[in-house]
Homo-oligomer: A and B are copies of this chain.
Amino acid sequence: MESRCENCIVRQFNSLRAMSKEELKKVSDSKTTKTVKKGEPLFEEGDKLNGVYCVRNGVSKLSKLSANGKDQIVKLASKGEVLGQRSVISQESTNLSAIAVDDMEVCFIPKESINNTLQKNPNFTLEVLRHMAHDLKEADDVIVNISQKTVKQRMAEAFLYLKNNFGEDADGFLALTLSREDISNVVGTATESAIRIISEFKKKGLIHTSGKKIGIKDERKLLEMVEGF
């Protein structure tokens, strides 16, 4: 199942598309592909990364575990996203863990290929910069949301986010199925609180569920809820 970066579709979604043919060839020659099973880590908080991970398939959560067992998810990364970039760029150990939420297929790209290109190809560097600017904006938005919105509003927002970013399956359920615990860790609340709100939303006809799958029933009302009506 090995393949060349030059032909890889996910490259279209990330900064690797700004690489020259030769640079891409080098990356392709040095990369290794690996599969990560659901629940397994790509890397963990504090690790020194020797490269970055390019997601080909599946979804990873970037999160940090606190002393009292709370795990805050900062970002969900899927196809095309590059993980570990920040750590490689600042030459520090990671502040977040990356754990597979799905079975994943990722490529590991040694940092040398990245660093070299960063120093020589301004287009690539600028492209990476643009992605990072986007991530920073999103992170700022999360900060503002957590502190200004109620748990209920953030739950509503999370469902809309999941629909917009990962889509729905044939039966109208969110394509990315997260455990209740993961949902609560995205939203930043206790698992029981998240479950309660799911029940409430179900009663109100905003969502429907089947096992752990969740489907959005009334997007408008969810949106209104996010806005505070």
Chain B contacts of A74 at CB under 8 A? 140, 143-144
CB-contacts of A107-124 with B (<8 A): 118-123
Cβ proximity bits A69-95 to B, threshold 8 Å, 1 near / 0 not: 010101000000000011001101001
Q: How many copies does the complex hold?
A: 2
Does A134 lie at the interface of the complex (its beta carbon under 8 Å from any beta carbon of B)?
A: yes
The reply to whether B140 and A140 contact each other, CB–CB distance below 8 Å, is no
Given A90-B133, A129-B132, A133-B90, A142–B143 Cβ distance below 8 Å? yes
Check A9 for interface membership: any CB of B closer than 8 A: no
Contact of A129 among B125, B142, B148, B149 (CB under 8 A): B125
Residues of A within 8 A of B (CB): 64, 66-68, 70, 72, 74, 85-86, 89-90, 92, 95-96, 118-123, 125-126, 128-130, 132-137, 139-144, 146-149, 188, 227-228
